[in-house]
Amino acid sequence: MKNVHNIDSKLVTFEILNDIILTDKKLKLSKESITNINNCRTYLDEKIKQDSAPIYGINTGFGSLCDVKISNSNLNKLQENLVMSHACGTGEKVPKNIIKLMLFLKIQSLSYGYSGVQLKTVERLIEFYNNDILPVIYTQGSLGASGDLAPLAHLALPLIGKGEVYYNNQTITGETLLKEFNWQKIELKSKEGLALLNGTQFMTAYGTHLILKSLKLSYLADLIGALSLDAFDGRIEPFNELIHFIRPHNGQLKTAQQVKSFLTDSELINQPKAHVQDPYSFRCIPQVHGASKDALNYCKKIFLTEINSVTDNPNIFVDADKIISGGNFHGQPLALAFDFLSIAMAELGSISERRIFQLVSGLRNLPPFLVKNSGLNSGFMIPQYTAASIVSQNKQYATPSSIDSIVSSNGQEDHVSMGANGATKAKKIVDNLETILAIELLNASQALYFRLPLKTSPFLESFLQAYRSEIPFIENDIVLSIEIEKTVSFLKNTIIDIEELMN
């Protein structure tokens, strides 16, 4: 079936994830995954029967209670207690699209057959995903080590008839959900609660969402920057490939090539210039945007690895006849990547705001604040204030989370990544960047009216035509927050081919 994605051991790429999201594919376990899950569970059941030795999280307590042995008769209760006791999320609710990614990533991780879960547990999670049953999860509570314990506990609660879910545009209880579908609650067996709660799926879902969105915004930053360059009567020479061949950072080369391509056959870029140089915010677009591209590419590699990883603990290796307690749940690689991503995206917003400032400054035969009859009209004075405010907020959000750690679980968990905090801050930065770029587009479009009859390139003119059909030239003062919001919506709805973003 075309609209079904088979969960198997093949590499899950961002292109595949993007396709699953956009086409709303349903999930199905492959025969390979079913075999892996069943073999692992059978192995674990036999191991418990034959060996009474303590195995962390299977017949012991958790965290600093790891030395407390639990009798076999209480193993199921141990797992259910774990899920309930760890559901301590607070703060804002996680967006639904990220919850759905969390479900997918947890299913994918459990399907490899190293976690010891029952097949019916994974199948119930797939039912959640395919029916848009999304557990209510909160943004605060994870230290980004021992996995995203609190968020994943909320993800798991509906399996046992607890917690809340979003279903059919309503919020209902886990108990109501079971009745609605005539389901029995999942009786968690040994290790299952830990398999569900250990893992980095909260961080990885945020990371996946942010990588896809940041790739799009990086592309749009180049496109909107090219519009601003033409609106400012800028020069094309700083984008000449000869400059970039002698400092060949990949992102720098790509940005210069892309902006130059965007401006092919522009009447404005090719007209004679009275000025010798442009300000850095225009002249150094390849260097600044390019550095953010290189940072984003690094983060993409980190999250691609994590998407295809097993991150719960302990891990069960059937062929090697070993159960090993380690630390794959530790979010340090992701925490560092979130901080890098945050800084890189904040910088795209910072240089964008500088271009906004230049456009409203009354330079190069543009009217002050990009409006006729300025004085009576304030024009585009205050959108630059708004952009500056957001840029300043992004600088504060970009303070690294990964440099912090707080001891937990009576010292057993004595170094944590704080990657979950990094994830939620990074989302705020990326969402803020979208607003800053919207303000730049609003300004660039307005400025380009004052360059008529000269036009920008055919490619950029087609983009402008679509934009101006929704946000036309502004003659006199109006409520600009509405135009900014309409521009943000326009950017959200702009579809860019995933292959274009990945190159």
Q: What's the CATH number where 151 sits?
A: 1.10.275.10
Encoded amino acid at 153, one letter: A
Q: What is the DSSP letter of 59?
A: S
- CB–CB of 111/8 below 8 Å? yes
146 and 178 inside one domain: yes
284 falls within a domain: yes
Instruction: Work out the average pLDDT over 265-270.
Output: 97
209 and 193 inside one domain: no
Give the per-residue pLDDT at 301.
Answer: 97
316 falls within a domain: no
483 and 441 inside one domain: yes
The pairing of beta strand 4-7 with beta strand 322-324: unpaired
**Does residue 60 register a pLDDT over 60?**
yes
Give the per-residue pLDDT at 386.
Answer: 97
56, 167, 219, 397: the catalytic one is 56
CA atoms in the 13 A half-sphere facing the CB of 169: 0
**The domain boundary residue, chosen from 148, 183, 199:** 199
242 falls within a domain: yes
301 and 440 inside one domain: yes
31 falls within a domain: yes
Q: State pTM to two decimals.
A: 0.95
Q: What's the CATH number where 282 sits?
A: 1.20.200.10
| Peptide bond just before 248 cis, omega within 30 deg | no
Domain count, the chain: 2
160 and 298 inside one domain: no
165 and 215 inside one domain: no
Instruction: Work out the average pLDDT over 75-93.
Output: 92
Instruction: Work out the average pLDDT over 103-120.
Output: 97
**The domain boundary residue, chosen from 155, 176, 199:** 199
450 falls within a domain: yes
Instruction: Work out the average pLDDT over 57-71.
Output: 64
Instruction: Work out the average pLDDT over 247-257.
Output: 97
80 and 220 inside one domain: no
Residues 6+ apart with CB under 8 A from 358: 228, 232, 279, 281, 282
248 and 388 inside one domain: yes
317 falls within a domain: no
Give the per-residue pLDDT at 64.
Answer: 55
- Pick from 295, 311, 408: which is nearest to 343 by CA? 295
364 falls within a domain: yes
**Site of tokens 């800028």:** 234
Instruction: Work out the average pLDDT over 409-413.
Output: 79
124 and 212 inside one domain: no
318 falls within a domain: no
**Backbone phi, psi, residue 170, to 5°:** -130, 160
Give the distance between the most distant pair of CA atoms in the chain: 87
The whole-chain average pLDDT of the chain stands at 94
Give the per-residue pLDDT at 73.
Answer: 67
348 and 436 inside one domain: yes
CA atoms in the 13 A half-sphere facing the CB of 155: 37
Q: Is 56 a catalytic residue?
A: yes
CA distance 380 to 178: 54
- The confidence band for 182, taking pLDDT boundaries of 50, 70 and 90, is very high
- Give the H or E element holding residue 167: strand 164-167
242 and 355 inside one domain: yes
**Does residue 16 register a pLDDT over 90?**
yes
Contacts 24+ apart (CB under 8 A), 2-7: 4/28, 6/30, 7/33, 7/107, 7/108, 7/111, 7/126
The pairing of beta strand 26-29 with beta strand 4-7: parallel
**The domain boundary residue, chosen from 156, 176, 199:** 199
230 and 131 inside one domain: no
Higher pLDDT, 76 or 312: 312
**Backbone phi, psi, residue 94, to 5°:** -65, 135
Instruction: Work out the average pLDDT over 104-121.
Output: 97
**Does residue 27 register a pLDDT over 60?**
yes
- The confidence band for 503, taking pLDDT boundaries of 50, 70 and 90, is confident
The strand pairing partners of 374, in sequence order, are 377
Range of the domain at 394: 205-310+323-502
